[in-house]
Amino acid sequence: MDRIERVTLSTVRLPLPAAISDAKVLTGRQRPMTEVMMLFAEIGTADGHTGTGFGYAKRAGGPAQFAHAVEIAPDLIGEDPNDIGRLWTKLVWAGASVGRSGAATQAIAALDVALWDLKARRAGLPLAKLLGAYRDSVRCYDTSGGFLHAPVAEVIDNATRNLALGVGGIKIKVGHPDPETDLARVREVRSRLGDDVPLMVDANQQWDRPTAQRMGRALEEFGLVWIEEPLDAYDAAGHAELARSLDTAIASGEMLTSVGEHAELIRHGAVDVIQPDAPRIGGITQFLRLAALAEQHHLTLAPHFAMEIHVHLAAAYPHEPWVEHFDWLHPLFDERPAIRDGRIHLSTRPGLGVTISERARAWTVDRAEIHQR
């Protein structure tokens, strides 16, 4: 059997072209976002196989993820890289004192993704094909051009450009302290894009229950694909009440950090669209557990962020999913996803199909090498 011989961990500070603001900034709960902290894991085996995985943190948590990964990664040395499920459990128990969600499992996620990438590369298959793909392309919508710091004219220009590049839908941010500002922006975007373009909105958890009900009713006229995070991410009962009262689908899940937290949303019937994030819930191993539960409840899957990972996972989901298009991570990799006709198309490259760029390596701020003793 092949054995894991080395693990390289690195933190990369990815600068964003402009400071990003959503509703959480306008309500004073967060600062504008200027960078994303990436955690990369590169795993090598005695037989010469390699795999690369990554996770990320926004605004805070990057150093914590790196520190935890450095502590637990030695437990992989000498192990069979095929045993991904067992290794996930081993890593969880290695850091059991800090729990099974949050920064601890987000550190595991980068290692878990690297193991899956290694397995698919060794098989000579794209990850989606290894998992059992239902399709070779996935519907995609853009989020990166629709933030609240941008004037509505800029949002429309961004949307028009992304649609011309092949993106299939547009999501814009709402949750402005003035609800009329939100409605005016949505009305203008819908008018300029037309009724045929799939349009979503995202309140980033900034409405209370009465506001969400009022805004949900007011937004019905725009034929939205979904309303995302109208309430606090952990308010399963409130989301369920909203989902029952509106025609527009309710979407949530990106801020949750475990399968169990998502299961609570599903148990309450709180969402029509489930939005897990593999790096946030512990990696691909955990994502597959959640996807099986979501499929049993006939939910639409729309993974959050990290499309380089999620296009593979969405392609392996039975029901037609969506994948979120962000261009923020482009500088980190040598490859670009193929986007046309409203869909992201799987590459034929094995594994995730991405290679860390030299530019990304130049942004490295922390690095650790774990070897066979």
187 labelled binding-site residue: no
173 is catalytic: yes
CATH number of the domain enclosing 313? 3.20.20.120
Domain co-membership, 22 together with 171: no
Quick check: is 326 in a domain?
yes
304 is catalytic: yes
Question: Under the phi-then-psi rule, with left for phi > 0, alpha for psi from -120 to 50, and beta for the rest, what region is 172?
Answer: beta
129 labelled binding-site residue: no
Axis crossing angle, helix 284-296 with helix 259-268, rounded to the nearest 10? 10
CATH number of the domain enclosing 27? 3.30.390.10
What is the residue-level pLDDT of the chain in tens, covering all 373 positions?
899 999 999 999 999 988 888 888 888 887 888 999 999 999 999 999 999 999 999 988 899 999 999 999 999 999 999 999 999 999 999 988 887 888 899 999 999 999 999 999 999 999 999 999 999 999 999 998 889 888 999 999 999 999 999 999 999 999 999 999 999 999 999 999 999 999 999 999 999 999 999 999 999 999 999 999 999 999 999 999 999 999 999 999 999 999 999 999 999 999 999 999 999 999 999 999 999 999 999 999 999 999 999 999 999 999 999 999 988 889 999 999 999 999 999 999 999 999 999 999 999 999 999 997 6
Tally the domains of the chain: 2
Cβ pair 304, 278 in contact under 8 A: no
Domain co-membership, 214 together with 333: yes
Domain co-membership, 177 together with 271: yes
Domain co-membership, 20 together with 139: no
Domain co-membership, 235 together with 155: yes
Note the pTM of the prediction, 2 decimals.
Answer: 0.95
Domain co-membership, 282 together with 177: yes
41 labelled binding-site residue: no
Active-site residue, selected from the candidate residues 68, 119, 129, 173: 173
Active-site residue, selected from the candidate residues 239, 304, 325, 345: 304
Domain co-membership, 176 together with 288: yes
Quick check: is 350 in a domain?
no
Domain co-membership, 155 together with 251: yes
Quick check: is 351 in a domain?
no
117 labelled binding-site residue: no
Question: Got the DSSP string for 171-204?
Answer: EEE---SSHHHHHHHHHHHHHHH-TTS-EEEE-T
Domain ranges, residue 219: 128-345
